[in-house]
Structure 1
Amino acid sequence: MCTGVVSAKEVTCSRVTMYAIPLLLCLLRVTQAQDDKVEGVTEPSCDGPVPQYLKKPHTYFYHLEGNSDLDTILSLKFPLPDDHFFRDRWNWELEEGENIIRWVERDGPSHPDSLHRIGYGMGWKHRPTFTKPIPDDVQMKGLKNGIEMLKQTKKLEELIKKTGITLKDMSSKVHQLNFTYTKPQAKKSADVGYVLENALTVIAEGLEQEEVIDIQLMNNTRICSMFEQTPIQLPCEPNMPYRRLDGSCNNLREPGWGKSFTPFRRMFPPEYADNVSEPRGGKNGDGLPDARKVSLALKEFPRRFSNCFSVFQMSFGQFIDHDLTATPTAKDMDGNPLTCCNEKVLQDPSLLHPECFPLSIDVNDPFYSAYGITCLEFVRSLPASRCFFAPREQINQLTAYIDGSAVYGSTKEQSDSLRTFKGGKLKTVITKEGHELLPEAEGHQEGCNTKEDMENGLFCFRSGDERVNEHILLALLTTLFAREHNRIAMELSQLRPEWNDERLFQETKRIVAAEIQHIAYNEFLSGLLGPLLVRGLDLKPLQGGEFYNGYDNRINAGVANEFAAAALRLGHSMIPEHSYSKNSSGYYQATELNGVVFHPADMHKKNGIVNLLRGAFSQSIGKVDHAFSNQITGLLFKLENATGFDLVGLNIQRGRDHGLADYTVARRECGFPAIKNFDDLKTIFDADVVTMLRKLYKKVEDIDLFVGGMAEKALPGGLIGPTFACILSDQFIRAKRGDRFWYENAGQAGSFTKAQLTTLHDVSLARVMCDNFPEIERLQRWPLQLVGAQNPVISCDSLCLPKLDLTAWRP
């Protein structure tokens, strides 16, 4: 155990396996107490003595490994087949003399298992059944319709501008400008997406959903040339050791895989009301319950808090989220936010933008009714441009790889704006106390910090992702890795004086990205999925400079829509009502969540960062379940307003906007028994949750993926239920096995040496914090966990926290 006492034996505390043991002990105590239903005990302390059932841990570990849900996930053949798998694998051509399509396997015959789909038969088909080609006249009719619909939308936007209708609600402005930001490249791509999806609406008249999905698997190079949307074929440099900012050429076989500004993948077939683009509706034409109504029902459940994890588990997850996904939403012709709830629009529906999908608020709403609010702003995500007719797919503006893009950006223009071009460093601002902060945000950021703060020089920040100011701890973690970059760049410049600025920047960026990957897979995922699942799926980093040989260029690392729009939003249930800061005297100050959302002013203040760190180290997160803070169910982004957003309702609405498959489909396609009625949920959810869902949804198949996934009981040793564990496992496996620049890979142009990898295997979040926030002096060994007997507070000088040895980069 790490005690903080410096001794030769302490070095063993830094090994990777040490993380899983205390975490598992903590979580198992919680699991056992819940299983035994000890009277008066809801969740025992993580720092108590080792309980009897762990005196012979192998017995209990065997029981856990024999858990049916764990066994099901471990039996899956990851990565799971998806839309890309079948579309990229099969091409079609017309057989001579016959009006049918002959399907040709792109890579030649394969083993039957490569097309095996775990589940119950309603996933992606092996070979589409729609065998009649789409006649040219039907295609042209559809395309003309799509072009006309786009023209009408542009005219409507001009009319709205002339009418002077603008979004005035500050909460909605902050959300649309600073949270669901839209880059010009995404908006340009979306125009073609609109044309193609409206064309498919005409083409798909009279077709069933499965037939529309079949069309999606058909390539059509003529569409590509017609809209100058040529397939991504970039000149790649196989021997280049550094990543491209946009993620292209990571996969030399498929240069566009994982690239920024490309469509999301689909794990499960989309469910749109019209099979093409209209937001998901209920089965058989029945309506779904209003998203706000579902949110209110979830709000009635009491919150439970973890005795194991600190708030940094939530914040680091948000940091990784902003490294992987950013979905653009519709904006007006000038790139400004749209309004769907403006009084003029509500009175004249002809002024309603077609991309509006607002949340309906009941006149008797227990919160919003007091303010006369009957409509919450919500605009749809932009459609992606593709070279074929297909149901709507959304755009990911970021790369699919864990590459530090939240720090460095995903475009050259953004990256260059963050660099000093001297000594390989990033731009920072030095405070009066000599501390580095992120550079000042360019222009005026509406709703970020108060007017008084801005006048006093307490500006908001700029980084590789526009959402950096969303939460003060997110800004803190981004600052941490920006400081780490500059610290490493300075030391490398001394070790390698012959390197110029570009070489120093790229080498440092490569090291920092490796650190982020290591922390994510060694510390964050072990808590999220649980050590048993992480170990069983080969997600655990190796040790002692051992190289990984699992890279596979047949794996598409692209981000799944179900991951971005549902599963990774699990962190929203972790959000506590307050943010804590703690001074050197042990005095706590609690600030309501909305006091630190788009309000990072405290980071400027003397001892502001160290006080935030002390507070976060000791603050628990909410459990990942169906209960949420009232700070996010009506007050989010409220700023000076009396009301704000309902994030839970927004998540549900976003899933419907994206046409995500319902919960029962996702669970079945992850290999679990089919859910046929509400009674089948009794062994999966708590009884009161089943009762609530039965009242809300007319059919069990209507349950939204986000709602069902959040309500599942957590896997033994993990934070989340099996369906979300399946989705997240698939994505993080792809992000590792499908990344040519994964930091442990051997034999690649960007591979580290054995000596370099050895020191990278010793990296920990605690060490990075100590090196860049030296004023903290002491912290727990694993900052994502709360302090306990298995996770003691140690000195930053402890040998439990080995430093990154940059001498391994000497010539």
Structure 2
Amino acid sequence: MAETQVQETTSLLRPSQPQYVFESSIARARKRRVKQFQCCVCTIFLVGVTAAVVITVAYSINDNDNPISNDNSTAIESDVVPLESFLVLLNSRNWPLNDEISNGLDNITTDIQDALIAGKKALSEKDRMETYNPSLSIDSPSYRHQKAFSFSEKARNLSRKGYAEEYATRYLYGIQNDLYELTKICFNDGTDESGPDYCSPTPSESCNVYQKYRSYDGSCNNLRHSALFGVANTPFRRGLPADYADGISQPRASRSGTPLPSARVVSIEVHRPYYREDLKFSVMLAVWGQFLDHDITATAPSRKNNGDTISCCGNQAYSSPECFPVLVEPSDPLAKYNISCMEFVRSAPSPTCCLGPREQMNQVTSFIDGSVVYGADESKAQSLRTFEGGFLKTYVTKDNRTLLPISHDMADGCNRDDERERGRYCFLAGDDRANENLHLVTMHLIWVRQHNRLATQLSTMNPHWNDEILFQEARRLVGAQMQHITYNEFLPILLGMSWLLRKFNRDSVACVPGDRIMKQFQLSPQQYGYFNKYSDHIDPNIANEFATAAFRFAHTIIPGLIKLLANDSTSPEYVQMHKMLFDPFALYDEGELDRILRGAMNTSIEASDSYFSNELKSHMFERDTKQTNESKKCGLDLVSLNIQRGRDHGLPGYVFWRKKCGLAVPHTFDNLREVMDRDPLENIKSVYRTVEDIDLYSGAVSEKPLEGSILGPTFTCLILDQFMRIKYGDRFWYENSCNWQSFTGEQLNEIRKTTLSGVICDNADDLSYIQPRVMERSGNKNEYTNCASIPKPNLKLWQDKLNRLRVPTTKLNVITFK
């Protein structure tokens, strides 16, 4: 017997078994029979496998869930999700997506009145318990976090009604045999006398169909649903029914009924700090995203009856029923500070005039209308006006620069005694969250200056216009420009890009078909003429899943260090992100506004993925202190709070949103290998028990991005659906054609010259050069340009064309005309 020595250089395909010199005839015959038997067995096996494959494929084609393949060997490893297959999927759906809702019942049972009484008693008991509940320390990160929420007096009163409704529902369901057999009971849209007093019949709102200007609260935009569609202080819309642990209001639990893993554990294990820059885009992308978000969403928080904050990590005997703190494990890094939970208060319930699952309230309009600048109600808007020349109020500094009007409220979570002693205060704006970070308050200032600049130009051309006309015309222009910037500069980055996406260090443009989503759904601004697809059947209300998860994608792209850049651009200063929170005082210093703007336009974002900066995970709302470690006020974990908020709102798990969007539905963790990279998936597997338990936020940010985009398929679907609704469902959309409210075709052509770079140039202090597309980093095809060269609208087209009127006069009984 001869044997071949296998060495490192031996071919891997070379047989390793011994090679015999001879075989006997008996052995050869026996081997031939064995081979024949093996061939027979193999043939039978292959026929069986083929039949099984055919049956499986046929079943998969007819399976509405469209499960992802279990064969990991055939999965294509790629950093992105191919766009072409996603476009095919989009074409197979009806857009906007249909909301899955339960209908109310017309019949009112005899238990209703008892339930309503029980709801009022529960509200009184809540008030009693919260009188013993301590408020948060004014110097704590949790206090600043709660103050970061906008909360109006109207929202507070409505939330109390919503709370009573919730506990009336709980009472009614509690006396039934089967909770899940009951359907939501509504009071016939406020016309049933058996319902609560605030649902009593009221005169229908009278809408002037010829009204030229928007209402502040969004009412009368939709003439069919004048007090509901897009209106402030109404419930968020839901794409899927709420998934509460008890079917009514308790935060989402595991599919098995057991508690989900702590949101803090998910944050630590799944969303670890990792630094990977995306050199294509600038922090201005995130700045505009937040400014826009505050224009269309403002979730109402739960508060005490007197408006005070609620403490949830203190004495549990006096804990508010609205508490839902984030549990901190003993192994958590925060445990060394003797922290066992992170403060978290539930979002306030919204009244619906129904007995059914809990809903949350949006305090602002769902339209891109500049409510972030002017406020979402008339009283707020009037408090910000001078009532002279159409101007908004400003504060004039000693060096004759205009800032936002100042706030003297020392309990607003922003004002500080040390700054007050210097005569410096935080600011007032159309949205109460303006002071949350330095970039955000800067954007607020830019747009208040833009309004006043437009009012000045309009007054010069039309000196006969009074204050009201000047104010409303400037407001109308600001809303139009915000809409154009959003759909012309911001959305193409989110939904996929073509000419905007460039290969650096090359002269040619990368031809990526991503803009096909924008064109396919007519989201891109018109090149000329009007947009004629408005429909009063489309509900533009902001979806709960959009406000609570999808539009929080930007948190993953915020870098830990933010650049401040002087005019010479040779000596940048870097500031930790958390030090820019509730610290707007730099704007009082000359030159700081421009440094902040330059820094935002020249700081790269972090890559959009499942990883987050440690600034967001450990230092949110933290304020530097000289106190010892024992009494240190640790910062909050924004990722934990995002996950907890989704559970608070009863958002169904991640896989159900994939099914909603028509995407392949995973049934096991291994099914996700085609959707997520290996490391994020392994981290998810280590935390969740089943794929159905994965939180929407964690699952969607962990997806591979679509080709040419920064988002994965699930968030792309939800964001696409919402922005279609905002455009198609807005009667006052700037490109709509209505004789009594529309811009002329020539005026529209001027508005289409609007860019965020042009608005910044016009309203910064002393900014001379800028990249034309400020949400992208400067570089190839986006080089610095003199501000004077940036195209801007010409407002001469807003000048009234007044013809000389012929006035009749009487002379010698003969009527003549001058």
8 Å contact kept, 2:284–2:774: yes
Unaligned runs of 5+ in 1: 1-34, 44-62, 94-132
Report the residue type matching 2:240 in the other structure: F
Aligned pairs (5 A) from 1:483-522: 483-522=449-488
Q: Are positions 1:605 and 2:589 aligned together?
A: yes
Aligned to 2:310: 338
Matched residues in 2 for 1:261 and 1:750: separation?
Answer: 25
Range moving further from structure 2, 448-457 or 606-615: 448-457
Task: State how far apart, in whole Å, the 1-side matches of 2:566 and 2:177 are.
Answer: 65
Identity %: 37
**Deviations 1:754-784 (CA, angstroms, capped at 9, x unpaired):** 1111101111111111111261111101001
What's the CA shift for 1:704? 0.5
Alpha-carbon distance in structure 2 between the residues aligned to 1:354 and 1:231: 31
1:140 maps onto 2:157 in alignment: no
Aligned pairs for 1:76-95 (under 5 A) are 76-83=93-100, 87=103
The question of whether the paired residues in 2 share the 8 Å contact of 1:449 and 1:460 is answered with yes
Which SS does the other structure have where 2:766 is aligned?
Answer: helix
Which TM-score applies when normalising by structure 2? 0.82
Deviation track 1:713-739 (CA, whole Å, cap 9, x = no partner) reads: 111111111111111111111110100
- Where does residue 176 of structure 1 map in the other structure? 146
1:414-433 equivalences under 5 Å are 414-433=380-399
Give the equivalent residue in structure 2 for 1:536: 520
Pick the aligned partner of 1:228 from 183, 198, 207. Answer: 198
Aligned CA distance change for structure 1 residues 647 and 217 (closer, same or farther; 3 Å): farther
Question: Which residue matches 1:558?
Answer: 541
Aligned counterparts of 1:615 and 1:166: Cα–Cα separation in 2: 34
User: In 2 relative to 1, CA 441–168 (structure 1 residues): closer, same or farther, beyond 3 Å?
Assistant: closer
C-alpha displacement of 1:212: 4.5
Aligned-pair CA distance for 1:436: 1.7
Structure 2 counterpart of 1:563, one-letter code: F
Q: Is the 8 A contact 2:395 2:403 kept in 1?
A: yes
Partner of 1:527, secondary structure, is helix
User: Is 1:75 matched with 2:75?
Assistant: no
Q: 2:209 aligns with which of 215, 221, 238?
A: 238
Q: Distance in 2 between matches of 1:573 and 1:472?
A: 18
Verify: 1:664 aligned to 2:636, yes or no.
no
Structure 1 residues 723 and 64 mapped into 2: Cα distance closer, same or farther (>3 Å)? Answer: closer
- Tell whether the 8 Å contact from 1:212 to 1:275 is kept in structure 2 after alignment: no
Q: Distance in 2 between matches of 1:489 and 1:449?
A: 31
1:358 paired with 2:332, answer no
Q: Residue 579 of structure 1: SS of its match in structure 2?
A: strand
State the 1:156 CA deviation. 1.5
Structure 1 SS opposite 2:573: strand
In structure 2, C-alpha distance between the alignment counterparts of 1:155 and 1:404, rounded to whole Å:
39
The aligned amino acid for 2:610 is H
Q: Which residue of 2 aligns with 1:287?
A: 259
Aligned to 1:122: none
**Structure 2: which 5+ residue stretches go unaligned?**
1-75, 497-514, 626-631, 802-818
**1:302 aligned onto 2:319:** no
The aligned counterpart of 2:735 is 744
Match of residue 770 from structure 1 = 761
Q: Render the CA deviation track for 1:323-371: whole Å, top value 9, x for unaligned.
A: 01111111112101011112xx14xx2x1110011111112212x1121
For residues 201-250 of structure 1, give each alpha carbon's deviation from its aligned partner in whole angstroms, at most 9, with x where no partner exists: 23334676764456579867427853222478311111110000011000
**1:647-695 deviation digits (Å, cap 9, x = unpaired):** 1000011100000111011110111122211111111111111111111
Q: CA deviation at 1:435?
A: 2.2
Query: Residue by residue, what CA displacement relative to the aligned partner does 1:22-61 show, whole Å, maximum 9, x if unpaired?
Result: xxxxxxxxxxxxx998xxxx99xxxxxxxxxxxxxxxxxx
Higher relative contact order (CA 8 A, sep 6+): 1
TM-score, normalised by the number of residues in structure 1: 0.83
**Deviation (angstroms), 1:431:** 2.3
Once the two structures are overlaid, the 10-residue window that deviates more, 262-271 or 232-241, is 232-241
Distance 1:490 1:719, change over 3 A: same
Q: Size of the alignment, in residue pairs?
A: 697
1:454 shift after superposition:
2.9
Whether the 8 Å CA contact 2:136–2:143 is kept in 1: the answer is no
Say whether the 8 Å CA contact 2:415–2:426 is kept in structure 1: yes
Q: 1:731 to 1:212 in 2, by over 3 A?
A: farther
Change beyond 3 A, Cα 1:231–1:744: farther
The one-letter code matched in structure 2 to 1:786 is R
- Structure 2 distance, partners of 1:237, 1:436, is 37
Cα RMSD over matched residues?
Answer: 2.2
Instruction: Point out the structure with max Rg over C-alpha.
Output: 2
Report if the CA contact (8 A) 1:448-1:598 is conserved. Answer: yes
1:204 pairs with 2:173: yes
Is the aligned partner of 1:645 residue 2:629?
Answer: no
Describe the shift of the 1:455–1:804 C-alpha distance in structure 2 as closer, same or farther (beyond 3 A).
farther
Give, in angstroms, the shift of residue 621 of structure 1. Answer: 0.8
Structure 1 residue 65: Cα displacement: 5.2
Residue 15 of structure 1 aligns with which residue? Answer: none
Q: How do residues 321-720 of structure 1 correspond to structure 2 at under 5 angstroms?
A: 321-342=293-314, 345-346=315-316, 349=317, 351-366=318-333, 368-448=334-414, 450-530=416-496, 531-544=515-528, 546-586=529-569, 587-639=571-623, 640=625, 641-720=632-711
Specify whether residues 535 and 442 from structure 1 end up closer, same or farther in structure 2 by C-alpha distance, changes over 3 A only. Answer: farther
In structure 1, C-alpha distance between the alignment counterparts of 2:189 and 2:740, rounded to whole Å: 33
- 1:303-318 maps to which residues of 2 (within 5 A)? 303-318=275-290
Aligned residue type for 1:73: L
Q: Per the alignment, in what secondary structure is the counterpart of residue 251 of structure 1?
A: coil
SS of equivalent to 2:700: helix
Residue 356 of structure 1 aligns with an amino acid whose one-letter code is C
Superposed CA deviations along residues 252-310 of structure 1, whole A, max 9, x for unmatched, are 11102111111110011100000000011111212200000011113435232211110
SS in 1 for 2:537: coil
* Equivalent AA in structure 2 for residue 483 of structure 1: R
Deviations 1:71-100 (A, max 9, x none): 22343211111157x75xxx765xxxxxxx
Amino acid at match of 1:70: L
Counterpart in 1 of 2:5?
none
Distance in 1 separating the partners of 2:618 and 2:659: 33
Note if contact 2:82-2:706 (Cα within 8 Å) is conserved in structure 1.
no
Amino acid at match of 2:125: Q
Deviation at 1:411, TM superposition (A): 1.3
Maintained 8 Å contact 1:579/1:593: yes
Deviation by residue 1:373-395 (Cα, 9 ceiling, x = unmatched): 11111111111111211200001
Instruction: Note if contact 2:162-2:352 (Cα within 8 Å) is conserved in structure 1.
Output: yes
Task: Give the Å deviation of 1:808.
Answer: 3.5
The offset of 1:134, in angstroms, is 5.4
